[in-house]
Structure 1
Amino acid sequence: MNWKKILLKAGLTLLSLALIVGVLGMYIYHEVVSTSKVIYQPIKKSVRRVEPINVVEKDPFSVLLLGVDKREGDRGRSDSLMLLTVNPNNDTTKIISIPRDTRTLIVGKNRIDKINHAYAFGGVQMTVNTVEKFLNIPIDYYMEVNMEGFKDVVDAIGGVKVNNTLDFTNDGVHFKKGSLFLNGSDALSFTRMRYDDPNGDFGREARQRQIIEAVITQGAKIENLIGYDEILKSIKNNLVTNFTIQEIYKIQREYRQASGNIEQEQLQGSGKLIKGIYYYQVPEKNRLTLSNELRKQLSLE
């Protein structure tokens, strides 16, 4: 076989591979678009926004991440609440953990209660309204993750690697300190432990953040395209958001620098028993200080 035939054969082989990759790429693209339509559920526009968010113009925005513990026959409660504020102008992302027992006004119920009860009373919309009132900022986007079913996502990507800072046992599983590789069931147990953690809710939320970040990292490294079917199926079953696919693409491209500079803060307060019920009480001074920081981060007056 002469060199011309070798080059022709090699060229045809590369062309065939390119066509296969192109077809698979188009298939994945259409599946991603289809998935984005399934998980898309809008909420009411925030009254705290005069003009709507425009990610094309690189406006700062906020995202409320709800880790919801839904079990069969139960609507569920927001097991964890995390607020992300992203500012591409100074390339920063702030993550604020809001303890589930935080005592505040539940907007729409007109009662003082634990902040995570807002989800049980009125779902995502009431939770968004309550957090907006509590911190005096607009919530532009939300992502609701079903932590019970999130184990399916972990299994779909072949497990996740985490760094465990606390030796503990939960659901009959022993988690040693150090680097751990977890399957879906173990990852769920890892995130659910709360009472043996000296940091309480904050420790639990830190573990939940680790799992979510590990899922994103591991998912981005997957080279076997066959796995995307199971991943997208798991996302359809366990994630709800008001992000459109166009906004996700824009944010991924235009806000990348901000996502690489993450600052994590805790909502400063203390535990308190009121009429025999445990609450996380945030002093007004601390609440106002945090509110002002977040408004500055979002370029609000």
Structure 2
Amino acid sequence: MHENTRTSPHPPSTGPSAAHAASERIQLRRALTLTLMTLVMPGSAQIVTGNKRIGRIALRIWLGCLAVGALMLVLALTSRSGLFMLFTDGRILTPVRYALIGGAVFWMVLIVDAWRLGQPLRLARRHRFWVAGLNGALCFVTAGAMFFAAHLVDVQTGVLDTVFAASTTSKPVDGRYNVLLMGTDSGKDRSGMRPDSINVASIDAETGRTVIVGLPRNLEDVPFPSDSFMKKEFPSTFDCDGCYLNAVNTWANDNAAQMGVKKVGHRTPGIQATIDAVEAITGLDLNYYALVNMAGFSDLIDAVGGVSVDVQERTAIGGIGSPIRGYIEPGRQKLTGDQALWYSRSRVLNNDFSRMGRQKCVMTAMLRELSPKKVLLNVEKIADSSKTLLDTDIPARDLNVFMDLALKAKAQPISSVSLVPPVIFTGNPDYDKVRSLITKAIDKAEGKKQAKDGILAASLSVPSSAGDAKDPTKANQSDDLDSSC
């Protein structure tokens, strides 16, 4: 009797080679696990199989970082202004920068040590390259991200030290912050610095609801308050030859020495004189000023990828002391920095009052489009442009307040009232009427009951240009700039 015995052509291996392969897999898993543990929870690999003291130090630091992150999340949900304060306080940012650099080096050392604890020489030759490559990549990514974050913190600190170096803070007046905004292009072909645009942003300190007051640069017979140093030379009004509102800055700076007037803080005699004049014109107490350089304005818009504007009239590029080199045609489009600059300042084919309306539309578009995400993604470009863009006496300590108000303002309508014909005649302005218009515009923005004299209603019903459905001058008097622009 014969038994049929079947033998497998490939009997299962139970010899040394199978055991060796299993050992290689275990060794590879161990090396990868230690590396990933260090990535997810720095110090954990050292606690499991290494220098437990170093591991505990690293783990405590990591848990501290998580606690700080949780605190920032709570601040973001409960006190956005408090969170912004952390990001704009140089006393906090400087140690954070050094902590990021130190943390990057320490984390990189832990990842390399995790590779060592994985016993790379015991790995199969084909596994060594992949494990070493993974560790190297993690070192590059983690340390690189933290070094880059430290660089951004350094950039932020530089902007705070350069642009927002003032130290004097100002409280809101009657529940509002009033900020003088001036745009200037002080090139070599200009004598002194004469602002091309002059506006006051009156911002509700609680809601962010904003009213923009536009002041023509050629406003005449400008008054000064009784405590202004300009009152000695111009006891009645600023009535010298060619003395318009935009000439106050140059005149005061040119004559400051003979009047014995010096720079006070960040305010030059010219800036202070302009603030005095605007306060007397509007009846508003100004908290701060911001002087925007046109070249820096163009760079800022390029830094954030342009700005979308509904162009309301054909506008020349160039033509102010230079040949016209192109046109911005009507229609909704994304403008580059150069185009937005010329759309805001050109008056070759139109006039100053049209330009004032276009400026308000560009300002509104910038407010609507600038988001925290866009700022974070372009922070270095924005920082570079800001150093040439802005001169201001807003201190870093108040930046958190204005950042929070800017976000609130994005969800609110923006009103405007401008001192332009036919409401106000710049050659013979009625300043009592001016102050009444501004008061009523602010009251209306705050939801207060309106007087029945009809002055504000009349001011917000300026006739359009003949046959032109899109008239940029409508933005000079508007309850909602979004609808007018």
Alignment correspondent of 1:29: 153
| 1:12 partnered with 2:12 | no
Aligned partner of 1:260 in structure 2 is: 411
**8 Å CA contact retained: 1:62, 1:84:** yes
Does the C-alpha gap of structure 1 residues 72 and 153 become closer, same or farther in structure 2, counting only changes over 3 Å?
Answer: farther
CA distance in 1, matches of 2:437, 2:150: 45
1:9 Cα deviation from its structure 2 partner:
3.7
Does 2:64 match 1:64?
A: no
Structure of higher RCO (CA pairs closer than 8 Å, 6+ residues apart)? 1
TM-score by length of 1: 0.76
- Match of residue 39 from structure 1: 163
Deviation for aligned residue 1:155:
2.8
Residue equivalent to 1:117? 247
Number of residue-to-residue matches in the alignment: 282
Contact 1:85-1:93 within 8 A present in 2 as well: yes
User: Residue by residue, what CA displacement relative to the aligned partner does 1:44-81 show, whole Å, maximum 9, x if unpaired?
Assistant: x8xxxxxx7337x9952111110112112532211111
Does the 8 Å CA contact 1:99/1:280 hold for their aligned counterparts?
A: no
Of the two, which has the highest radius of gyration? 2
After superposition, what is the alpha-carbon deviation per residue over 1:9-41, rounded to whole angstroms, capped at 9, x for unaligned?
A: 498289866665454344323322321221246
Give the structure 1 partner of residue 284 of structure 2.
137
Select 1:242's aligned residue among 372, 393, 399: 393
Q: Gaps spanning 5+ residues in structure 2: where?
A: 1-27, 43-137, 225-229, 253-269, 319-324, 447-485
Kindly tell me: are residues 291 and 145 of structure 1, through their superposed partners in 2, closer, same or farther at Cα, counting changes over 3 Å? same
- The question of 1:82 aligning with 2:199 is answered yes
How far does residue 115 in structure 1 lie from its aligned partner after superposition? Answer: 1.1
In the alignment, is residue 193 of structure 1 matched against residue 353 of structure 2? no
Q: Distance in 2 between matches of 1:266 and 1:224?
A: 33
Match of 2:374 among 208, 222, 234: 222
SS state at 1:120 partner: helix
Q: 1:104 maps to what in 2?
A: 221
Secondary structure at the residue paired with 1:78? Answer: coil
Distance 2:185 2:285 in 1: 25
- 3-state SS, counterpart of residue 161 of structure 1: strand
Q: Secondary structure at the match of 1:266?
A: strand
1:162 matched residue in structure 2 = 309
- Cα deviation, 1:218-276, whole Å, max 9, x if unaligned, reads 57443885x533321221112111112221113323674345324322234437xxxxx
Is 1:232 the counterpart of 2:383? The answer is yes
| 1:58–1:88 contact (8 Å) kept in structure 2 | no
CA distance in 2, matches of 1:262, 1:143: 22
Q: Secondary structure at the match of 2:196?
A: strand
Show the counterpart of 2:449: none
User: 1:78-137: per-residue Cα shift (whole Å, max 9, x none)?
Assistant: 111111111134552111111111223254151233211112223322111110111122
Assess if the C-alpha contact under 8 Å between 1:153 and 1:184 holds in 2. Answer: yes
Change (3 A) 1:295 1:244: same
Return 5+ residue gaps in structure 1 as ranges: 46-51, 272-277
CA distance in 2, matches of 1:224, 1:252: 13
Q: Which has the higher strand share?
A: 1
Map of 1:274 onto structure 2:
none
Which sits farther off after the overlay, 101-110 or 59-68? 101-110
Change (3 A) 1:223 1:128: closer
Q: What code does the residue aligned with 2:162 have?
A: V
Counterparts of 2:41 and 2:301, CA distance in 1: 34
Q: Which amino acid aligns with 2:248?
A: A
Corresponding residue number in structure 1 for 2:64: none
CA-atom RMSD, angstroms? 3.7
- SS of residue matched to 1:222: helix
Describe the shift of the 1:291–1:104 C-alpha distance in structure 2 as closer, same or farther (beyond 3 A).
Answer: farther
Higher-helix-fraction structure: 2
Task: Indicate conservation of the 8 Å contact 1:58/1:254, yes or no.
Answer: no
